[in-house]
Structure 1
């Protein structure tokens, strides 16, 4: 889960890192009064989105009066930043900066351990910094402290571990002219698999990977993987889109390839959904029912690779439960294989017969991308 800057700064501050004095405003707030309440002459007004590169996308403004601040907030709330919804605006003091550095901790997937990354050349152009200006220090999650004298490193390490972060980044970490080290920005990604250790995460406002407010369906799907059975497979991934072909995909890589295949035949997905890890029938039923509840659908594509341990019969039964209730009249294309695939296909075929569904079934002998073409053909006949 990616956090907004203001959320990340609150966490950093808990671990002793200094952040600029500031406050958060929402749509409908009194922006001018917020500037007055902050009590500074020069302010920085920053759009709160989940993407980076705000400075290069005109999403950070510098203001010196209540009127300027109000106009800046109104402008930021009226735009999208890299196609992302502006959830809030943070107004904070403008600092007198002497130096801009970069500091982050993330996981090195090759070495299977955390790595601290530091550069004395931080700021907007960090991507252009050469490798010889970047320092890396690998750490052990069993360590209370990290072996580094870099300013803020110990505090960021405790934040990274205690908060179950996938990424904790400060860019820039600035040294002010009066000698303070301040986290001017914060980019934090939390490991959602650790939610059982963090009751307070439930207080975070809902968000989507698309950087906009979640729809009712997206909120409902997210709840599927919560509770006592959260570990039994995943069925809580759903992003609502503007197309009209509902999809129920299995497998992360296969699902992305299938989205491309659908677009390549001129069709648009109504959603992105991926379930995997052998989820139980009830989870898949809840997911399928929500996916099929979107108005204006013209087709349903159920596709996935050859499963290793997912019970095809069990997961299909969840989809069948939803089809028995909804009885869609549009074409349905199914491509799946794996354990108990014959039982699953038999159950799906029986569902199609008793509900008079327009359904075609395919196994591993048919490439997944080919079944996207079959969906297009069924819609055009």
Structure 2
């Protein structure tokens, strides 16, 4: 499983689209995405509610604690939203020790409310962990002792009985409504191959559940069976992470092939570089380098698998070798080439690609 974070805008879009299909629950939520290229006139024509309601605006950049960081503006009109975005678009902020400019915002209706609930679902090896609290919001961590949690094994369905411990202390007038909502959200979670989903908080508007703040992660290895359900989905890089030209090249190569080609530069000045076949083997090689005391010298993480052809491996190997030999400083460097068990990869083809790349660089 490859857990990939998605923007709040997409999390809410997927929930709204599929909650009705799977559970018959219509979410009355609206949201709009704003970036540098957004024309507010065109956006308003597409989303008329923007000009007729009070609004909330916040960055949609895969980091949390936006409210505590003063990055959420409430109860604005559209002109004030445009000003808020203009003042912060492209401005670098620091979150969790990472610095990056803000490039994407989400705009939604302002929803006055009193009660805030918390809900999260996490995919585990043998099932899913589901957590719920009547004390959601920005103080959830301070009230973690009030969070109720159940574990639902993979083979067990989400029934009213399974959900009951989560909602047992809710008032009777909202218990069934929230219980049905939790079951519906879990159905979406499973059907769309979410690996993580969190609402902190959601509330009730006219007696109906309404997510206010939401985070989601998808298992991107399930894209082959979900591309229609997911629609135009974006998997942004983690906040603060920018691809180097070589990483971008391999990423583009990976996008064009049915194989897997992964490459991340960890330390451009590192003396130990890897080119390993197989996801498990690549992690073991990297861990072993660290266990032997050379983590600070590890230049990269690299993994190829899924039967890439010789030409793809050639282009991939060129990148790894070029990075491993860049900016010589007189110190010896090592390139570890290895792998695990080949299930269906043509080893001769992959090694021919590596050998050709080595010969091109006069390293064989």
TM-score, normalised relative to structure 1: 0.68
Larger relative contact order (Cα-Cα within 8 Å, sequence gap ≥ 6) = 2
2:268 to 243, 254, 262: 243
Q: For structure 2, which runs of at least 5 residues remain unmatched after alignment?
A: 21-25, 164-175, 277-281
After superposition, the Cα gap between the structure-2 partners of 1:227 and 1:118, relative to the gap in structure 1 and judged at 3 Å, is: same
Q: Deviations over 1:114-143 (max 9, x none)?
A: 222211121223233334532324143563
Tell me: CA distance 1:279–1:71, structure 2 relative to 1, closer, same or farther (3 Å).
same
Q: Could you report, residue by residue, the CA deviation over 1:340-369 in whole angstroms, capped at 9, with x for unpaired residues?
A: xxxxxxxxxxx43xxxxxxxxxxxxxxxxx
Change (3 A) 1:262 1:104: same
Residues 1:54 and 2:86 are matched in the alignment: no
Is the CA contact 1:141–1:161 (under 8 Å) kept in the aligned structure 2? no
Separation in 2, partners of 1:121, 1:134: 11
Alignment of 1:5-16 (within 5 A): 5-14=8-17, 15-16=19-20
**Counterpart-to-counterpart distance in 2, 1:157 and 1:57:** 30
The equivalent residue for 1:106 is 122
Does residue 192 (structure 1) correspond to residue 220 (structure 2)? The answer is yes
Contact 2:120–2:132 under 8 Å retained in 1: yes
| Contact preservation (8 Å) 2:317, 2:354 | yes
In 2 relative to 1, CA 252–87 (structure 1 residues): closer, same or farther, beyond 3 Å? Answer: farther
1:175 aligns with 2:197: no
Q: Please point out which of 186, 192, 197 is paired with 1:157.
A: 186
Of 116, 130, 139, 2:144 maps to 130
**In structure 2, what is the Cα distance between the partners aligned to 1:171 and 1:214?**
30
What is the RMSD of the two structures over their aligned residues, measured on CA atoms? 3.8
User: Structure 1 residues 196 and 141 mapped into 2: Cα distance closer, same or farther (>3 Å)?
Assistant: farther
Question: In the alignment, which residue of structure 1 is the partner of 2:360?
Answer: 325
The residue number in structure 1 matching 2:32 is 23
Cα distance, 1:298 vs structure 2: 2.1
d(CA) in 1 for partners of 2:320 and 2:12?
36
Residue 327 (structure 2) aligned to one of 292, 298, 303: 298
Provide structure 1 residue ranges, at least 5 long, that are not aligned to the other structure. 328-350, 353-381
- 1:118 aligned to 114, 117, 132, which one? 132
Q: How big is the shift at 1:249?
A: 4.9
Q: Distance in 1 between matches of 2:42 and 2:257?
A: 46
Taking a change above 3 Å as real, the CA distance of residues 102 and 206 of structure 1, as seen in their structure-2 partners, is closer
Give the CA deviation at 1:43.
1.6
Quick check: 2:57–2:108 contact (8 Å CA) kept in 1? yes
Question: Which moved further from structure 2: 250-259 or 164-173?
Answer: 250-259
1:358 aligns to what?
none
Q: Distance between the aligned counterparts of 2:275 and 2:113, measured in 1?
A: 49
Question: Of residues 176, 187, 208 in structure 1, which corresponds to 2:237?
Answer: 208
The CA deviation string for residues 224-249 of structure 1, in whole angstroms up to 9 with x for no partner, is: 5567753xxx4x22235683559435
Question: How many residues are treated as equivalent by the alignment?
Answer: 317
Mark the CA change 1:273 to 1:264 in structure 2 (over 3 Å): closer, same or farther: closer
Q: 1:154 to 1:63 in 2, by over 3 A?
A: same
Query: TM-score by structure 2 length?
Result: 0.71
Structure-to-structure mapping, 1:91-102, within 5 angstroms: 91-102=107-118
Does the 8 Å contact 1:99/1:174 carry over to 2?
Answer: yes
Q: Give 3-state SS (helix, strand or coil) of 2:213's partner.
A: coil
Change (3 A) 1:155 1:91: same
CA distance in 2, matches of 1:196, 1:158: 19
Match in the other structure for 2:23: none
